[in-house]
Amino acid sequence: MIVNKFLKKYQKIVKKNNSLVCIGLDSELTKIPKHLLKESDPIFNFNKAIIDATHDLVCAYKPNIAFYEAEGIKGLQSLKKTVDYLRKKYPAIPIICDAKRADIGNTNIGYVKNIFDYFGFDAVTVNPYLGKEAIEPFLDQKDKGIIILCKTSNPGAGELQDLKFKGKELWQIVAEKVNKKWNFNHNCLLVIGATYPEELKKIRKIIPEMVFLIPGIGAQGGEVERTVEAGKNKQGNGMIINSSRGIIFASNGRDFALAARRETKKLKDLINKYR
């Protein structure tokens, strides 16, 4: 039985919207349609239009904090307004902060306060490299989703993640550690890239029911059919499949929100075909 608030929220929206699609709100200012740049807050207005056009087709939204930090205070204000808008207008949809935080424990307390108390996110991505002791301030958040990097989607991921120790690759050790030792509050998820379907399949065998955040579909080259077949659990879900650029920048014209809706529905339908 799921008691974690984030996972309850996820399960409810998956059922309501019949969707495993997460839209990455990687709203890079230089790629936003030019007609929005005349407005007082182009990033927020871009996000709002994307959200309003797609809210019934998704299971989550995931802003990558780097694109907002890049614009300084104004960018962070746009992010805050985006999260506040989602919480007020579409409170059933989980909001993930893609921040990949990693630091010593007392510093992570500050990150926890910022991400959960100030911004109001439902979940966050974190880096396991410093170990359980360091990320415990995140793991202690019983009602939030703590999404731990395991096998990331980037081409160079294997440089460290594929290193072997006692016959096991590092990503497998991370998966087992999270499953057996770190998930004491039943609030952990794993990041596993769609660009590595064989590894995804192996991790699903290690952890039959945990929810996976799966980036790498679309612009990064991940294949939907192989991803869904490898990553789904017995219920045909257990995945948050993210697409960012392929959806939000489907058009740079005035029809950008409609284009985003079209691409979101296309991805949703394709995923559901293989569930």
Looking at the annotation, which residues are catalytic? 100
Cα 18 to Cα 10, 217, 254: the distances in Å are 11, 19, 28
Distance CA 263, CA 266 (A): 5
- Concatenate the DSSP letters of all residues of 215-254 into one string: --BSTT-B-HHHHHHHH--TTS--EEEEE-HHHHTS-SST
Give the strand order in the sheet containing 188-192.
60-61, 21-23, 239-243, 212-214, 188-192, 145-151, 123-126, 96-101
State the amino acid at position 258 in one-letter form.
Answer: L
* 221, 1 Cβ separation under 8 angstroms: no
Cα 227 to Cα 55, 60, 128, 224, 268: the distances in Å are 23, 18, 23, 5, 13
> Tokens standing for 55?
């809210």
| Cα dihedral: 82, 85, 89, 94 (round 10) | 50
The size of the chain, in residues, is 275
Give the phi and the psi of residue 139 in degrees, each rounded to 5.
-60, -25
Give the phi and the psi of residue 208 in degrees, each rounded to 5.
-65, -30
